[in-house]
Amino acid sequence: MNNVAGHLQSLMHRDADENPWVEFDKGIKTQFPHIDENSGIFTMHSKAEPGYLGRLHRHVGDVFAVTVSGAWKYLEHPEINKAGSYLYEPDQSFHTFKCLDDNTEITEFWAIVQGALEYIDDEGNLLSTLDAAAARKLYQDACVEQGLPAPMPIGAMDYVG
């Protein structure tokens, strides 16, 4: 029998309610269960209302997404993401998130982001960049502003309340 005890590493775990849900935009709430500034990877867990329309954005790095409930699409693409759908978004892809108007439930999805999201206006100008460091600050600041407990994402253990 192999001796695995010397090779076990600590696991980090968060229950679904350990990190606060914050509203960054009307119609969508998000939590960041994992933010790792060293690797540039962060995880977003979001719940959006039917009809929610996000901003045009570009990925600077790959994104991997899984839909838990509801349905959504990118305005620039025909595919519908519904419960159980998996989506890979390559580096440098542009698109606009949209929950279907006829959804009868909240659209819930997870996204693992490598690199950053760059939010773009209608003229193609860069509005803001969301990378792991920015996600960490944005999340912490939103929790304070909304009177929520301090977030404790995995990978960002040095948060202060």
Q: Average pLDDT by consecutive 10-residue portion of the chain (161 residues)?
A: 60 84 95 94 97 94 97 96 96 94 96 95 92 94 93 69 42
CATH no. of 19-145: 2.60.120.10
Q: Give the C-alpha separation, 49 to 11, whole Å.
A: 33
pLDDT of residue 95: 93
pLDDT of residue 6: 58
- Laid out side by side, the sheet with 71-74 consists of 80-82, 71-74, 94-99, 53-60, 116-120, 126-131
pLDDT of residue 160: 41
pLDDT of residue 127: 95
Q: Give the C-alpha separation, 152 to 99, whole Å.
A: 28
Q: Residue 59 has which token pair?
A: 């990925």
Identify the DSSP state of 102. Answer: T
Nearest Cα to Cα of residue 69 among 52, 47, 91: 47
Asked whether the whole model's pTM tops 0.95, one would answer no
pLDDT of residue 97: 96
